Chain A
Amino acid sequence: MAELGRGALVIALGLELWAVGAGGYAAWRGRRRLAASAQNALYAALGAIVVAALVLEAAMLRRDFSFTYVAEHTSRKLTDGYAAAAFWSGQEGSLLLWLLILSLFSAGVLALTRRPARTLLPWVVPILGVVGTFFAFLLVFVTSPFDTQPPPADGAGLNPSLQNPYMLAHPPLLYLGYVGLTIPFAFAMGALLARRTDELWIVATRRWTLLAWTFLGVGQLLGSHWAYVEIGWGGYYAWDPVENAALMPWLAATAFLHSVMIQEKRGMLKVWNVLLVIGAFLLSLFGTFLTRSGVLNSVHSFSFSSVGPWILGFIAFVTAASLVILFSRLDLLRSRTRLESVVSREATFLYNNLLLVALCLTILWGVIYPIVSEAVRGETVTVGSPYYNFFLRVFGLPLLLLMGIGPLVAWRRASLRSLGRTFAWPAAAAVATGVALLFLGAGSSTPGLIGYTFSAFVLASIVLEFGRGTSARHATAHESWPRAFTSLIGRNRRRYGGYVVHAAIVLLAVGIVGSSAYDTKSTATLRPGQSMGVGGYTLTAGRPRYTTVPNIVEGRTPILVRRGSDALGTLNPGQNYYKAEDQTSREVAIRSDYLTGEDLFLNAVINKDGSVHLEASVKPLVNLIWLSGLVFIFGSVIAMWPDAREQRRLATRYAEQPAYARA
């Protein structure tokens, strides 16, 4: 069936090329049937790519080792679930997933925006086609998942670290985020090419951008939890370049989601918004380059990874082309409105944008500096956590504070008297929290204390916003309190959904601060029956035991956990040995206290003499990080949920556009 997979990809490449060539010509010369044909090409490309993906997935599940890719990433002992997920465990499968998701997004956005954006779509289609053509080209000519070989008796198996339930969700979610950012980019470029500088491209892509941003955020959080429970070093974010690769486009997209509101409300920042959309898309391509080029192991790994130079070349092409398009339309993008006051909601959005972009650029520099250094000077340089943590504090803490300030400041301009009134309660809550924490001993970490104080300010301002909004609605609409609360959110979904997302970020910040600034660690080598203490817990080692399940020998040391005189149960940290892969992985044990949000985290290495080297840490509030993911999704769904009134208004606004049908 490899021929079918190869053939489907060749057909998809042809269709994408048609979407670029015919679509571009149709948009330029105004050819209606040709434009419709180019759109159909994108729909048909989705069909061809789905066929290719099904062929590869079927080969994975059948363990058809005549497919080189299948032999390299699965084995007979691998469970079906992980064999299915091994689809995206390697380069070729990941690129096919990229293309599949891009095609799904392309077909989805064409179908769902065909009415409101019908005058824009002829220009959007060739842009989507360019991106699709590039990835189809890679899969057909550079790195095919359908290369075949004489089948070996068994496959090489899957990296043990990837044999985790998160493997099923984390990579696809990240790709949904990366690839989803193609949609606002394609619409922005399409709008500029069509000389359409009204808000249509923003309106058409608003939910798509939010969706991609949500996927990217949730994907990163799942990856963090995966690292926390699987990798065994006790943390959830290591400022690894691959992790940063996902964080950077998310930061750029976050900046865009805020600044686009200024364009919608004030008609300002049109150039800046297009630059942010271009930047977010380029960073998503750069993330793909980082993870797929092999450049992270060594800059010389271009010889091992065939796609690196191609992706880098494509990034250069997209950068040049999009900037040429942008600068050729600068005259249409000039704003006639200006900022009225530096103390206004739009000004806080602007400060937020500057901080987000500054944070993004410092992370980008931290990622590329070692690569450039090794490539130019041949020196291996590492940019470690201290660099990133420093800039996270410098830019992140003011960003946190701005999340609380922004909602309290009026649009256009705010007087000092109003500010004094609206800031009083959140500021009092923040000061009270800070003083209380000082008395409780939280002063051991100054950034931690500042982080908690700012978090209290933001949470108080969010609660105040909901409270005052509900109260105003209750008074003016004469609704019951619960009804006033729900209708307040229902009528202002983006605003209040955004506040819920802010609350999620506060939970995240509190969790990060608690688990990193106030954690307790202890290490000891224990023989059976010996004990150690950490953060108020007493840990007593038992005798190691080994069990064998298919493909895995599990070694575990039972650790009896007590706090004071209370026995809290037994944790079983240890190691797994994967026979087919001939690799060992650490298996941590975690006891979560959901009431306090605290984790007891154990990592054990079993020695040959039966003793165990135990690394124990107590991480306060770490569970708030994972809780923030649920709140984040909830807030995003509120913000994305369609508002019938707004849709009617927009439908009226764009109803008079000429039909994308016969003239």
Chain B
Amino acid sequence: MSVALVLAAVLAIGAIVAVALPFIREPEVPDEQDRLAGVDPAQRRRLQLLEERDRALAALSELELDHRTGKVSDEDYSAQVGPLRARAAAALRALDSAAEAPAPSEPGEPDDAVLQAVRVPTGSISAD
């Protein structure tokens, strides 16, 4: 047998060991401990709200910078800052209430009612 074949065999054994490693380390695991933890509906909803909060805070920050650099006039700033602050505050409130509320029964989509609560309708920003 050539050196190349021996090295290939060693490589193959190494590959098998790498693939089998999780089963070698934990040979016998009860079924419930061998399950991949997914993101449950409550965590999914919380993630959605966290993103909503970050978006609202980032929008406020952008508005401040745009105002300071002259891209947004004082009038436009006054018209936009209130609703954005309200949206950020609503996002924070929704996060608090989501932490206390039970998880929705339907997995997958976030709770529309909660999302509605954190979102100021587009029209209201224009109207202010």
Given contacts A32-B22, A47-B11, 16 further A-B contacts (CB under 8 A): A4-B5, A4-B7, A4-B11, A14-B15, A18-B19, A37-B20, A51-B7, A119-B37, A266-B55, A332-B109, A410-B71, A421-B70, A654-B47, A657-B39, A657-B47, A662-B33
- The complex places the Cα of A265 from the Cα of B58 at a distance, in Å, of 7
Q: Is A472 an interface residue (CB 8 A)?
A: yes
Q: Is the CB of A198 within 8 A of B43?
A: no
Select the residue from B12, B46, B125 with max chain A CB neighbours within 10 A: B12
By the criterion of a CB under 8 Å from any partner CB, how many residues of chain A are at the interface? 77
Given the known interface contacts A265-B59, A418-B76, A663-B36, the answer about A3 and B2 at a Cβ–Cβ threshold of 8 Å is yes
Interface string of A383-421 (1 = CB under 8 A from B): 000000000000000000000000011111111011001
23 contacts between A and B (CB under 8 A): A3-B4, A3-B5, A4-B4, A7-B4, A18-B19, A32-B34, A36-B22, A37-B22, A196-B39, A199-B51, A265-B55, A266-B55, A336-B119, A410-B71, A411-B63, A415-B73, A417-B73, A418-B73, A421-B70, A469-B69, A649-B54, A657-B47, A663-B33
Q: Is the CB of A465 within 8 A of B69?
A: yes
Chain B residues lying within 8 Å of A119, measured Cβ to Cβ, are 37-39
Interface string of B21-39 (1 = CB under 8 A from A): 1110010010011111111
By the criterion of a CB under 8 Å from any partner CB, how many residues of chain B are at the interface? 59
- The complex places the Cα of A337 from the Cα of B119 at a distance, in Å, of 9
Q: Which of chain A's residues has its CB closest to B8's CB?
A: A7
Q: Report which of A43, A122, A410, A422 forms a contact with B76, defined as CB distance below 8 A.
A: A410
Select the residue from B39, B63, B122, B126 with max chain A CB neighbours within 10 A: B39
Tell me the residues in window 64-123 of chain B with beta carbons closer than 8 Å to chain A beta carbons: 65-66, 68-73, 75-76, 80, 108-109, 115, 119, 122
- The complex places the Cα of A336 from the Cα of B66 at a distance, in Å, of 25
Q: How many A-B residue pairs have CB under 8 A?
A: 185
Q: Is the CB of B35 within 8 A of A30?
A: yes
B residues contacting A by CB (< 8 A) are: 2, 4-5, 7-9, 11-12, 14-15, 18-23, 26, 29, 32-40, 43-44, 46-48, 50-52, 54-55, 58-59, 62-63, 65-66, 68-73, 75-76, 80, 108-109, 115, 119, 122, 125-126
Q: Is A658 an interface residue (CB 8 A)?
A: yes
Interface string of A1-36 (1 = CB under 8 A from B): 111101110010011001000100011001111111
Q: Is the CB of A122 within 8 A of B2?
A: no
Main secondary structure of the interface of A (DSSP, over half): helix
Q: Is A338 an interface residue (CB 8 A)?
A: yes
Chain B residues lying within 8 Å of A656, measured Cβ to Cβ, are 43, 46
Chain A residues lying within 8 Å of B80, measured Cβ to Cβ, are 412
Q: Is A68 an interface residue (CB 8 A)?
A: no
